């Protein structure tokens, strides 16, 4: 699915806000699978659980608190910095430079941000591997969000206030529908990134679920083509 934008909808956009994982690189690269595995190992080691039990608890925390990290902080008082380091100890070599995406981002008029539930280090490593990091003005991460992940409204407020983003003139790109609800309420344009394979089955189907899709202006499986259509 690639729905190309009506240019007029984006004519007044001055701030371009991008989620990182499965948004700036396609879902099928599956970088997150590596992080997922590391988080399971972390929970297993921390609590002396089998891999299977650790995974169930990890997913429960993710479901209940928005990130596994938040659940571990609340229930086990872990050191978030240590967790983020271990979770993101992955091979970024699966990402390759995406020159055409870089050119498309560079050509956008205004500021560009990465807004992620991961860490700055993770965003930097991934965006550098994609060869697009230098096109961004800043990264707003889970530490800047005081470990309160999207889709919490307070976290969007923090981001918008920090960078004085006028939401009437901003757009958010995301692969999780629920993370676009608040941006739409704030008056932003919203673009959902969907996997190229329409029949892709999600490991965590619940995270794709949204009550309705009224908060999604566009859905596309090709970010570069979408951005190029705006030029
Ligand atoms: Mg994402």
**Which percentage of the chain shows pLDDT scores above 90?**
86
Please give the distance, rounded to the nearest whole angstrom, from the Cα atom of residue 214 to the centre of ligand 1: 19
Query: 67 C-alpha to center of ligand 1: Å?
Result: 12
150 CA distance to ligand 1 middle (Å): 10
Distance 169 CA to ligand 1 centre (A): 22
Q: What pLDDT does 231 receive?
A: 86
What separation in Å is there between the alpha carbon of 19 and the centre of ligand 1? Answer: 6
User: For residue 196, what pLDDT is reported?
Assistant: 81
- Distance (angstroms) between ligand 1 centre and the Cα of 24 equals 8
Residue 22 Cα to ligand 1 midpoint, Å, equals: 5
Q: Is the dihedral of CA 3, 63, 150, 187 positive or negative?
A: positive
Mean pLDDT within 68-73: 96
Query: Where are the chain's structural domains?
Result: 7-26+95-228, 32-87
Would you call 192 exposed, middle or buried from its count of C-beta atoms within 10 A (0-12, 13-18, 19+)?
buried
C-alpha 46 to ligand 1 mean position (Å)? 26
Asked if residue 198 has pLDDT above 70, the reply is no
The yes-or-no verdict on residue 230 having pLDDT over 90 is yes
Position 210 scores a pLDDT of 57
7-26+95-228 CATH: 3.40.50.1000
Of 81-95, 124-138, 207-221, the one with minimum mean pLDDT is 207-221
Reply yes or no on whether the pLDDT at 65 is more than 60.
yes
**What CATH fold (topology level) applies to the domain 32-87?**
DNA polymerase; domain 1 (1.10.150)
- Spatial strand order of the sheet with 138-140 comes to 138-140, 111-115, 15-18, 170-174, 189-193, 218-220
Which of 193, 49, 180 lies closest to 61 in space, CA to CA?
A: 49
- Residue 155: CB partners within 8 Å, gap ≥ 6? 145, 148, 149
Dump pLDDT digits (tens) for 84-123: 999 999 999 999 999 999 999 999 999 999 999 999 999 9
Q: What is the pLDDT of residue 207?
A: 63
Q: What percent of the chain has pLDDT over 70?
A: 93
Per-residue pLDDT tens digits for 1-49: 457 899 999 999 999 999 999 999 998 898 989 999 999 999 999 999 9
Q: Ligand 1 centre from 205 Cα, in Å?
A: 14
Beta strands in the chain (DSSP E): 15-18, 111-115, 138-140, 170-174, 189-193, 218-220
Q: Is 174 left (phi over 0), alpha (psi -120 to 50) or beta?
A: beta
Centre of ligand 1 from the C-alpha of residue 209, in Å: 14
| Ligand 1 centroid – CA 26 distance (Å) | 10
- pLDDT mean across residues, the chain: 93
């Amino acid at each position: 699915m690639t729905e190309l934008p009506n240019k007029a909808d984006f004519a007044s956009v001055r701030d371009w806000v991008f989620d990182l994982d499965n948004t700036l690189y396609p879902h099928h690269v599956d970088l997150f699978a590596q992080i997922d595995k590391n988080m399971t190992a972390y929970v297993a080691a921390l609590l002396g659980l089998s891999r299977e039990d650790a995974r169930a608890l990890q997913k429960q925390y993710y479901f209940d608190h928005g990130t596994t990290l938040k659940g571990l902080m609340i229930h086990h008082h872990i050191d978030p910095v240590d967790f983020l380091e271990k979770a993101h100890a992955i091979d970024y070599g699966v990402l390759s430079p995406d020159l055409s995406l870089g050119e498309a981002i560079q050509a956008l008029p205004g500021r560009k941000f990465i807004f992620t539930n991961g860490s700055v280090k993770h965003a930097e490593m991934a965006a550098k591997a994609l060869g697009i990091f230098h096109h961004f003005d800043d990264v707003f991460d889970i530490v800047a969000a005081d470990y309160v992940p999207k889709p919490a409204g307070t976290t969007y407020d923090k981001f918008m206030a920090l960078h004085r983003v006028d939401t009437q003139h901003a757009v958010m790109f995301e692969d999780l529908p629920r993370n676009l609800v608040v941006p739409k309420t704030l008056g932003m344009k919203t673009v959902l990134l969907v996997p190229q394979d329409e029949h892709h089955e999600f490991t965590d189907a619940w995270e794709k679920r949204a009550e309705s899709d009224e908060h999604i202006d566009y859905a596309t499986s090709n970010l570069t083509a979408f951005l190029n259509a705006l030029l």
